Structure formats: C-alpha cells, structure tokens
Amino acid sequence: MGFWAFREKVTPEPPSEPGRALFEEVRRHLPERFEAVGEALVAGRVATDACEVVGRLLGSQGVSLEETLADLRTTYELVVGTEPAFTDACAVALGWSEATLMYLHQLSCADPLTGLASMAHLRGRLTELYRGSTRGPALRDRFALVVVEAAPPRPTGLADEVFGLDLRMSRVGESARSVFAGGETVCRVGPRRIVVLAARDASLGRRTSLLRSLLAVGERAHGSIRIWTESLPLVADQASSLLDELSRDQAY
C-alpha cells in the first residue's frame, strides 16, 4: 500500500503538517530500524546517510543482506510507492558489508574477501613491536607504513559497488605482496586503502617506486593509485590512532 493511500485514514491537520501526520500513520508499518529512512523520504531529503547507518546496524546484528534490502524496499513502497533509489540500495549494502567484515576481522587474522591481513592482525603486530622496542633504535627508525590508496570505483551495478572493489583491492594486495615479499604485513585498512608494515631500510624507496609502477599499469583502467609512507608514532597509543585515521571511509 502506497504512502498516499493512508490519506483518508488520517485526521485532518493544519496545512503545514499534512506530511508529518501522514508519516506518523505510516511509521507503525515501517520495518524496524527504518524510521529515519522513512522520515528522510517523506521530508524530501536525501536518505543515503540514513540507509548506510541502518545497513551497518542490521549487519552488526546478524540480519541477512537479503532481508535488509527487502526492508528497504518495503520502506520505499510505504512512503513513496516506488522501488528504492539505486544510491540508497548501495548505501544499505555497503553499510551492511562493512559491519559484517568488522565482525569477521575479529574472528580471523585474514580478511576473508581479499586474503590480506586483517586490521586486528596489524594492530597485534604493532603491539608486539612496540613492546620489544625498549632497547635499540626507535621503532620509527626501523619500520614504516606504506599506504596504497585506490581511486574511487566506477560501479555499473549493485554487485560492482559491493563486491567489485573487494576484488580490485585483492589484486592491489597481490601486487603489494609481490614487491614486499619478505614477510611484511600487508593489510587492508579501509575500503580503498592497503597498508604495508615494512622495514625502513635502503630498499624501501626502491620497492615503493616499483609498486607504484606496477599499479600504474595494472590499475590504469580504474583510475590513479596514490602511494605514500607514514612514519610510525613514538608510542603504541598514537599508532592505534593513526590506524583508525587511515581506516576511515574515504570520500568518493
């Protein structure tokens, strides 16, 4: 039943409040957790942010992606009587996948989609290094983080938006491992970022340049690749904050 089908069931309101009154009637029929999405739609606002939040929330609660997208479709049908906007469906799916990956990272030292080291594994590796760095040269003089950032994706469909980037980052990770093949930790820390914990030695600059050249060719069809080196902070707590900063979703 469409949103406007509730018109006759609602007690007349002042002219400035008809949309709100109608929505309050529809709210009772909305899927759980989708109230903010419905409010955005009825107000004529972009619902993408609300969709991403609800996708992440339901993913963290173990709700399947199929059920989550079905609830989005129900919300759209009730409020505006149409199919969900492509951008909102993508936002729900991305939020859901991020929450699911965060849970899987807590269970494994490897990213299940790319095979790269998980954030938890990288944090553990850094903790070990900081604990053992009480003697000798400072840790920042012995190790560095090589950061690889892919260009924003160019999706042609929902599957590309959700899974295509994972496949691409897997290829980028394989290139990084082929260059840093001496036991370095290669970790995916964000949707479009990979970090290599590498020794800061005479070969670091040469290997970083080689990786840049490899990716410039392999990723030419997907856009540019940025590569830079981050120095490790002096203390472990600051290193954790640096990883948090690097792992934040990059604006597309």
pLDDT digits (tens, 9 = 90+) for 83-121: 999 999 999 999 998 887 666 555 556 665 667 888 888
DSSP state of 229: E
In this structure, the answer to whether residues 122 and 88 fall within a common structural domain is no
End position of a domain, from candidates 103, 127, 151: 103
Count of domains for the chain: 2
Instruction: Say how many CA atoms lie within 13 Å of 189 toward its Cβ.
Output: 25
Q: What is the pTM of this model?
A: 0.55
pLDDT at 161 over 60: no
CB 11 within 8 A of CB 89: no
Q: pLDDT of 70-80, one tens digit each?
A: 999 999 999 88
Helical H segments across 132-202, by residue range: 158-159, 165-179
Contacts of 203 (CB under 8 A, 6+ apart): none
Contact 14, 31 (CB under 8 A): no
Tell me: do 121 and 233 sit in the same domain: yes
pLDDT, one tens digit per residue, over 186-226 is 998 888 899 999 999 999 999 999 999 999 887 766 667 89
98, two tokens = 């991020």
Q: How far apart are CA 191 and CA 150, in angstroms?
A: 9
pLDDT band at 8 (very low <50, low <70, confident <90, very high): very low
Same structural domain for residues 25 and 96? Answer: yes
Asked if residue 137 is part of any domain, the answer here is yes
